[in-house]
Amino acid sequence: MTTAGRIISFIDGQFAREVAFLAELVKCPSDNPPGDCAPHAERARRLLEGLGFEVEAHDVPQAAVHAAGMKSVTNLIVRHRFGGGPTVALNAHGDVVPPGLGWRHDPYGAIVEEGPGGPRMYGRGVAVSKSDFATYAFALLALRDAAASGAGITGTVELHFTYDEEAGGEIVGAVRFPVANPDFSAFVQRAKDLNPEAIFIFVPGGVQPSAIGKALAERGIDAKKTKVLGMGELTEDEARKTMGDASLGILTVYHYDHNHQSALNREFVKAFNAEYGGRNPNIYSIGGYDGMHLIYEVLKKTGGNADAEALVAAAKGMAWESPRGPISIDPETRDIVQTVYIRRVDKVGGQLLNVEFDKIENVKDPFKARMKK
């Protein structure tokens, strides 16, 4: 058997043991905040020693821990020297963000449930990054097994397990408000009173962005002093008009804005303005445009066959240049793949506009992307 074959065989044979190892890590909370992570490090140390590893435990001084907004941190190192050669260090973090709402299973239960793609474990850290504790540890076990059988493995492997990935900030408050709320003044004032470094705002489209924009302006939230972050709805045309210069500097993320700088979009905006009395297109307009484009193209592809299965099959993998930028249809999930733009409200030619300064290309629905794995 080749060395690679032996390693793969070892991993396959140890899979149940690896799953049990991961489950024990998931069952020990290590939410950050609040960042009381030393108990999880102690459990990880005992589990690693149970696999036969020597584990170094390094307690981080309390002053440094508190400065990061945490309560306790112990970092772990496992070292194994096979012989002369380079050192490869694998790093993973054991702290996780708090679970939030919407879980079907206990986020610390490590429940394994059968699904369409096979068994799946549910819990905080199963995907990132307690899973790396398990995969790294069992990969090193496999290398040790291969070396013991005579494989010529050299160098050193180190496993570095830390607890500060989710550090770096503190949520100083959260304000909930009615979904259909016409007046945000009291809620914005409460946020301002906390004197935060940043405020993240999520409101649905429609009348809400203008209403909250009005409150931000009236309550004197200065985006140059307190970062205001949100989804694209927050700085749509009407909301910016309501806020005036108070909107300058607000950062948002969205997949379309009429100020997107491309030749195709400028042509689209010009035609839309002419058709609708100077009104600018928005995400709903571009959604309609691309939806009709897709229907037209798939009907061409099927030769006019409007059977549902034929249309869906024809749409899979289709790609085109939209006024929003390049988009395609994921052939596996049948969902859209598109560019998401990061924008800042700036004044351009006397107008308050969403100005793109960065982008993330080929963005897929993250939930559906995970379901394929």
Q: What is the DSSP string of 49-83?
A: HHTT--EEEEEPPHHHHHHTT-SB-EEEEEEEE-S
What pLDDT is attached to residue 372? Answer: 55
Judge whether 53 and 45 are in contact, CB under 8 Å.
no
What pLDDT is attached to residue 232? Answer: 93
What pLDDT is attached to residue 99? Answer: 87
Q: Which domains does the chain have, with CATH numbers?
A: 3-162 (3.40.630.10), 185-254 (no CATH), 263-371 (3.40.50.2300)
Which residues, listed in sequence order, are joined to residue 80 by a DSSP beta bridge?
A: 157
- Tell me the whole-structure pTM to 2 decimals: 0.56
Dig out the tokens for 161 from the structure.
């397990």
Within 10 angstroms of residue 66's Cβ, the number of other Cβ atoms is 12
What pLDDT is attached to residue 100? Answer: 77
Candidates 327, 35, 10; CA nearest to 164 is: 35
CA atoms within 13 A on the CB side of 220: 3
Q: What span, in angstroms and rounded, lies between the C-alpha atoms of 279 and 269?
A: 9
What pLDDT is attached to residue 20? Answer: 97
Within 10 angstroms of residue 224's Cβ, the number of other Cβ atoms is 8
Task: Using DSSP, state whether 276 is helix, strand or coil.
Answer: coil
Judge whether 136 and 90 are in contact, CB under 8 Å.
yes
* Alpha carbon distances (Å) from 248 to 201, 219, 258: 15, 15, 18
> Beta strand 87-93 with 156-162: parallel, antiparallel or unpaired?
parallel
Task: Using DSSP, state whether 361 is helix, strand or coil.
Answer: strand
Judge whether 337 and 321 are in contact, CB under 8 Å.
no
> Beta strand 251-254 with 319-322: parallel, antiparallel or unpaired?
unpaired
CA atoms within 13 A on the CB side of 356: 17
DSSP output for 167-186: -S----------SS-S--HH
Q: What is the CA radius of gyration of the chain?
A: 26
| Mean pLDDT, the chain cut into blocks of 10 residues (373 residues total) | 93 96 97 94 98 97 88 97 94 91 88 87 93 96 96 95 78 66 81 88 80 85 87 90 88 96 97 95 94 95 91 94 96 91 95 95 77 54
Q: What span, in angstroms and rounded, lies between the C-alpha atoms of 27 and 22?
A: 9
What pLDDT is attached to residue 159? Answer: 97
What pLDDT is attached to residue 303? Answer: 94
- The amino acid at residue 327 is I
Q: What span, in angstroms and rounded, lies between the C-alpha atoms of 189 and 198?
A: 14
Q: What span, in angstroms and rounded, lies between the C-alpha atoms of 299 and 293?
A: 10
CA atoms within 13 A on the CB side of 184: 25
Region at 196 (left for phi over 0; alpha for psi -120 to 50; beta for the rest): beta
